[in-house]
Amino acid sequence: MDKIELLAPAGDLEKLKTAVDYGADAVYFGGELFSLRAGAGNLTIPQMEEGIAYAHARNVRCYLTLNIFAHNEDILPLEDYLIKIKALDIDAFIVSDPGIMLMIREVMPQAEIHLSTQANMTNYKTARFWQQQGVKRIVLARELTFEEIRLLRQKLPEEMELEAFVQGAMCISYSGRCLLSNFMIERDANRGQCAHPCRWKYALVEEQRPGEYYPVEEDERGTYILNSRDLCMIEHIPELVSAGVASAKIEGRMKSSFYVATIVGAYRKAIDAYYEDPQRYVFREEWMRELKKVSHREFTTGFYFNQPTNKDQNYQTSAYTREYSFIGVVRSYDPDTKMAVVEQRNKMTVGEEIEVFGPYTDYFSQKLEVLLDEEGNPIESAPHPQQILQIKMERPVSENFMLRKRKEQ
C-alpha cells in the first residue's frame, strides 16, 4: 500500500532541513520571487540547490511554489527567473496562473505541474480540464467535503493525484478569492502580500457619528467576526486515505522551525501507525497534545465533514494559544559526557523543567541542572539569543533535537 505523502512547509533553508529530519515525505518552498508568502524567509537559488540536495539524499521530494496571479509587470522577470532555476532538480512546480504554467512548459517542457489551491478547484469537470493541460496533481480547495473528494477521486483517472490541506491556518475567504487585503491597504493577497485583515477586530461606525464605535457582537462572543480556527485533521488519517487523498499538506511557511518539527513529527507518527495495521489503528491522544504545544488557534475540521458553523470561528480573540516556549536546538552530543551543545532560542534557567524531543521519538522531561556557557563555565541562565550552551542530558540525544518548556515557569 502506497502511503499518503506527508508534505511540509519550508519557509527557509533551516525549516526545510527540519521538515526533512522530522519525517516529511516532501517539502514545498518559495524562491525570493513569485510565491504567495512574500513575508517568509524563502530561499535564494544557492539555498534551493543546497536544500534540494539535502532532501533528495534522504528520498524527500521538493516542490517550488510559483503560485501568484501574475500581472504584466511580472512576466519578463519571471521568464528570467525560470531560466536561472532551470538546472535545479525541482520535483514539481505549484502554480495557479495558466500563463505561468505556459511559461514553465516553454522553459522546462518535462516539468511536473501541481495546481495550487489558489486556483479554487472544486469539481471533477474542472479537474479534468486541468489534467488535459498536463497538470499531474491538484491541491484541492479547502471548501471541499469528504463526500466531494471521494466523488472527485472516482471521476478522475488514477494518475491524477489529489492533495489536501490537513493542518494550519484557515482563510475566511474562498480559496483564491480574497480581495480584503488589497482593498484595505493595497497589499495583494494574490501576489504574496496578504496582511490578514480577517484577523483584525472590527466595530460599526454610523456615518453621522464619527468616532463612536459600536461593537459587532454575536451573543456576547466578541467582535472578531472573520477569524477562523486552525485546521487540524490528525484524528482523521483513515478518512483522508479512504477518500483518495495522495498528499496531506501542512500549512505554515511563515511558522518557526519548532512548529515545523512538532507538527511534522506528530503527523509522521500518526500516519506510520495507521499503515502498520489499518484494521486495528487507534488514534493516540498524545499526538494531539503534541500539536497543542506549538503556537496555535483552537482547532476545526474545516469543511471536511460539513459546512463550517459559528463553532468553527473564534469571536473572542485573534491571538494564538502559546503554552510552551521553544528554548533551544541541539547542535551536537557527546555520549561519554552526556553533554549536548545547544543553540539557545529563548531564555532558560537552571532548575527549570524542560522537555526534549527529536525525530521519530517520544519526548522526555528533565530538570535543567547543568548549564554551561560555550567555554564550559557554569551559568545560572541563558538570556541571549542564539547563545551557544552546554547542557547535561538525562537521555541520549542527537543533532536537531529540540528543547521546550512550559511558559508558566
Q: Say whether 33 sits in a helix, a strand or coil.
A: coil
Give the domain range for residue 352: 324-406
Whether residue 122 contacts residue 142, with contact meaning beta carbons closer than 8 Å, is answered with no
Task: Return the pLDDT at 235.
Answer: 97
Give Cα separations from 244 to 98, 113, 152, 159, 163 (angstroms).
26, 19, 9, 12, 9
Domain count, the chain: 2
Q: Which of 312, 338, 360 is the last residue of a domain?
A: 312
Q: Which of 286, 312, 338 is the last residue of a domain?
A: 312
201: in domain: no
Residues 255 and 365 in one domain: no
Residues 343 and 251 in one domain: no
Residues 92 and 150 in one domain: yes
Nearest to 308 by CA among 231, 222, 250: 231
Whether residue 307 contacts residue 313, with contact meaning beta carbons closer than 8 Å, is answered with no
CATH number at residue 11: 3.20.20.380
72-75 own/partner pairs: CB under 8 Å, 24+ apart: 74/34, 74/191, 75/99, 75/103
288: in domain: yes
Tell me the torsion sign for CA atoms 155, 156, 161, 165.
Answer: negative
217: in domain: no
205: in domain: no
Q: Which residues contact 123 (CB under 8 A, 6 or more apart)?
A: 148, 152
pTM equals 0.86
Residues 286 and 334 in one domain: no
- What is the distance between the alpha carbons of residues 26 and 5, in angstroms, rounded to a whole number? 7
Cross-strand partners of 353: 367
- What is the distance between the alpha carbons of residues 362 and 358, in angstroms, rounded to a whole number? 7
242-278 residue pLDDT tens: 999 999 999 988 899 999 999 999 999 999 999 999 9
- What is the distance between the alpha carbons of residues 29 and 51, in angstroms, rounded to a whole number? 10
Cβ density class 249-261: b for 16+ within 10 Å, e for less: bbbbbebbbbbbb
Q: Which of 312, 332, 367 is the last residue of a domain?
A: 312
Cβ density class 370-383: b for 16+ within 10 Å, e for less: ebbeeeeeeeeebe
R_g (Cα) of the chain, nearest Å: 23
Q: Say whether 121 sits in a helix, a strand or coil.
A: coil
Rounded-to-5 percentages of helix, strand, coil across the chain: 30, 25, 45
Max Cα-Cα span within the chain? 76
Task: Return the pLDDT at 220.
Answer: 46
Residues 42 and 144 in one domain: yes
193: in domain: no
Task: Return the pLDDT at 221.
Answer: 44
Give Cα separations from 241 to 27, 163, 215, 262, 374 (angstroms).
20, 11, 44, 22, 48
Tens digits of pLDDT across the chain (409 residues) = 589 999 999 999 999 999 999 999 999 999 987 765 555 568 999 999 999 999 999 999 999 999 888 899 999 999 999 999 999 999 999 999 999 999 999 999 999 999 999 898 999 999 999 999 999 999 999 889 999 999 999 999 999 999 999 998 777 666 656 666 666 676 766 656 667 676 677 677 777 888 777 666 544 444 455 667 789 999 999 999 999 999 999 998 889 999 999 999 999 999 999 999 999 999 999 999 999 999 777 888 988 998 766 554 554 454 557 789 999 999 999 999 999 999 999 999 999 999 999 999 999 999 999 999 999 999 999 999 899 999 999 999 999 999 999 987 5
203: in domain: no
Residues 161 and 250 in one domain: yes
Residue 141: count of CB within 10 angstroms of its CB: 22
26: in domain: yes
Describe the crossing of helices 146-155 and 124-132 by its angle, rounded to 10 degrees: 40
Q: Which residues contact 110 (CB under 8 A, 6 or more apart)?
A: none
- What is the distance between the alpha carbons of residues 9 and 353, in angstroms, rounded to a whole number? 30
Give Cα separations from 177 to 104, 128, 380 (angstroms).
24, 21, 52
Residues 257 and 285 in one domain: yes
Residues 160 and 12 in one domain: yes
Residues 252 and 393 in one domain: no
CATH number at residue 374: 2.40.30.10
Residues 55 and 131 in one domain: yes
Backbone dihedral angles phi then psi of residue 308, each to the nearest 5 degrees: -60, 150
Residues 365 and 343 in one domain: yes
Describe the crossing of helices 98-107 and 72-85 by its angle, rounded to 10 degrees: 30
197: in domain: no
Residues 279 and 363 in one domain: no
